[in-house]
């Protein structure tokens, strides 16, 4: 079956190249858009993604907030109150403030200063995202972090021990992160004291509270208890807060709809281009299909032959498109845009390829299945 299908594909090389090209363009565009969207979604939830998250951890924020990037300050006294809850091992205050970073070359940038207590640094940065320096150095006076990929957008060199100013106060780069970017902002990590100092944050306020629970504690029970007893607070599972943050941004920015429209358009275009080209190719070889039926091939065999051709087109087109996507990802990786080729992502692209290829072949299948051998001789 595959050998015969390959001969049919080679019969009209021009149409075969056209079909494969249509598949490559469709899958490359879909992969590019979906990969970019997944990357941006990662940035949206990076306040949580960059943190040193544990399984037995709860984040507590102001009750009306569902987006971790737009936190409202809460009273510092809640830290002690939450610490006293049965099952809570430790409560960590986190402070987030805004500042203007100014460099010796005169360039400036708006940043978010994020601080938590040393040596735990529960809010991050996660050690996996540290490029240069040691996390413990953030406990030093004036010590802050900067992001490696911000150097280009800030138009300045970033290196350890570089002197900068935050809200006109002297600071020193002691840590450089990589792939810890923020969505629509720039994260600067430090300790709790420095975050208050540089961000001009009220000493009686915190941005959020991170709770580490005892090993034997039931996380959901603690979450329910806090949400019941503290009406001004809301406790979240870390993953749930990250997902809520991404959802809120996608809805408010309409980004999901924009990317989705492009993906659907690429799918529909590929489906009809492939379908009509396969249909035209089948008409060119209608005598061959008629001959197959005349010598005993039944309708099922001929249909399988057409679908096998579509499958071969799909595999070839997917392979070329995937190689192009890998090349594209390597090119943009240098600028900090990282496309993760997870098993789910690759499976999604392969599924779309099979759908538009085999689905498009149904135009030809429908035509040839009605073909009577006598009508072509």
Q: Print pLDDT tens along the chain (377 aa).
A: 677 777 767 777 788 888 889 899 999 999 999 999 999 998 899 999 999 888 899 999 999 999 999 999 999 999 999 999 999 999 999 999 999 999 988 889 999 999 999 999 999 899 999 999 999 999 999 999 999 999 988 889 999 999 999 999 999 999 999 999 888 789 999 999 999 999 999 999 999 999 999 988 999 999 999 999 999 999 999 999 999 999 999 988 888 888 888 888 888 888 888 888 888 877 777 676 667 767 766 777 877 888 888 899 999 999 999 999 999 999 888 888 888 888 999 999 999 999 988 888 888 777 777 666 555 55
Half-sphere exposure of 365 toward its Cβ, with a 13 Å CA cutoff?
18
Q: What are the distances in angstroms from CA 272 to CA 10, 63, 226, 366?
A: 21, 49, 55, 15
Q: Is residue 191 part of a domain?
A: no
* CB 9, CB 309: distance < 8 Å: yes
Q: Is residue 370 part of a domain?
A: yes
Q: What is the pTM of this model?
A: 0.83
* Cα 367–chain centre separation: 42
At 377 the pLDDT is 52
Distance between CA atoms of 246 and 249, rounded to whole angstroms?
5
At 252 the pLDDT is 87
Question: What H or E segment, with its residue span, contains residue 97?
Answer: strand 88-103
At 133 the pLDDT is 96
Distance between CA atoms of 205 and 97, rounded to whole angstroms?
11
Distance between CA atoms of 23 and 310, rounded to whole angstroms?
11
Distance between CA atoms of 109 and 186, rounded to whole angstroms?
8
Helix, strand or coil, per DSSP, at residue 151:
helix
Q: What are the distances in angstroms from CA 328 to CA 29, 136, 180, 196, 209?
A: 11, 37, 21, 41, 40
Q: List 209's β-bridge partners, or say none.
A: 60, 93
Q: Is residue 358 part of a domain?
A: yes
At 254 the pLDDT is 85
Q: List 166's β-bridge partners, or say none.
A: 101, 169
Q: Is residue 233 part of a domain?
A: no
At 373 the pLDDT is 58
First-to-final CA distance of the chain: 25
Q: How many domains does one find in the chain?
A: 1
Question: What H or E segment, with its residue span, contains residue 113?
Answer: strand 108-116
At 370 the pLDDT is 65
Q: Is residue 96 part of a domain?
A: no
User: Domain range for residue 258?
Assistant: 2-43+254-376
* CB 121, CB 50: distance < 8 Å: no
The Cα angle at residue 16 between residues 12 and 19, in degrees rounded to 5? 145
At 7 the pLDDT is 74
Distance between CA atoms of 274 and 24, rounded to whole angstroms?
11
The Cα angle at residue 92 between residues 86 and 93, in degrees rounded to 5? 125
* CB 284, CB 12: distance < 8 Å: yes
Query: Within 10 Å of residue 260's Cβ, how many Cβ atoms?
Result: 14
Q: Which residues contact 273 (CB under 8 A, 6 or more apart)?
A: 22, 26, 360
Question: What H or E segment, with its residue span, contains residue 133?
Answer: strand 130-133
Q: Is residue 73 part of a domain?
A: no
Reference 363, options 307, 325, 318, 313; nearest CA is 307
Q: Is residue 9 part of a domain?
A: yes
At 362 the pLDDT is 81
Pairing between β-strand 57-62 and β-strand 74-75 as defined by DSSP bridges: unpaired
Distance between CA atoms of 150 and 184, rounded to whole angstroms?
12
Q: What are the distances in angstroms from CA 153 to CA 123, 143, 149, 189?
A: 24, 22, 8, 18
* CB 40, CB 245: distance < 8 Å: no
At 346 the pLDDT is 93
At 374 the pLDDT is 52
Q: Is residue 35 part of a domain?
A: yes
At 372 the pLDDT is 63
């Amino acid at each position: 079956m595959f050998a015969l299908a390959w001969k049919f594909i080679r019969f009209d090389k021009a149409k075969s190249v056209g079909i494969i090209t249509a598949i490559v363009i469709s899958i490359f565009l879909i992969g590019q858009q979906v990969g970019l969207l997944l990357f941006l979604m990662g940035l949206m939830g990076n306040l949580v993604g960059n943190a040193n998250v544990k399984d037995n951890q709860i984040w507590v924020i102001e009750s009306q907030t569902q987006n971790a990037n737009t936190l409202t300050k809460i009273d510092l006294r809640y830290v002690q109150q939450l610490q006293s809850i049965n099952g809570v091992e430790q409560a960590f205050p986190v402070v987030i403030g805004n500042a203007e970073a100014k460099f010796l070359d005169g360039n400036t940038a708006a940043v978010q200063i994020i601080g938590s207590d040393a040596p735990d640094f529960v809010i991050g940065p996660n050690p996996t995202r540290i490029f240069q320096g040691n996390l413990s150095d953030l406990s030093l006076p004036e010590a802050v972090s900067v992001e490696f990929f911000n150097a280009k957008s800030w138009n300045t060199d970033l290196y350890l021990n570089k002197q900068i100013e935050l809200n006109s106060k002297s600071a020193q780069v002691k840590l450089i992160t990589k792939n810890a970017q923020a969505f629509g902002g720039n994260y600067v990590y430090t300790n709790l004291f420095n975050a208050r100092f540089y961000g001009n944050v009220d000493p009686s306020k915190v941005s959020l509270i991170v709770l580490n629970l005892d090993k034997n504690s039931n996380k959901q029970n603690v979450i329910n208890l806090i949400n019941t007893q503290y009406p001004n607070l809301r406790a979240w599972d870390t993953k749930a807060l990250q997902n809520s943050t991404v959802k809120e941004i996608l809805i408010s920015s309409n980004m999901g709809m924009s990317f989705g429209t492009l993906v659907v358009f690429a799918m529909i275009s590929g489906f009809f281009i492939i379908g009509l080209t396969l249909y035209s190719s089948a008409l060119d070889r209608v005598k061959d299909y008629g001959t197959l039926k005349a010598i005993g091939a039944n309708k099922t065999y001929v249909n399988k032959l057409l679908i096998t051709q579509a499958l071969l087109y799909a595999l070839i087109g997917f392979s070329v498109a995937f190689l192009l996507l890998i090349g594209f990802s390597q090119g943009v990786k240098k600028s900090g845009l990282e496309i993760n080729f997870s098993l789910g992502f690759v499976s999604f692209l392969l599924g779309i390829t099979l759908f538009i290829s085999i689905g498009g072949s149904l135009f030809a299948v429908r035509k040839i299945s009605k073909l009577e051998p006598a009508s072509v001789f």
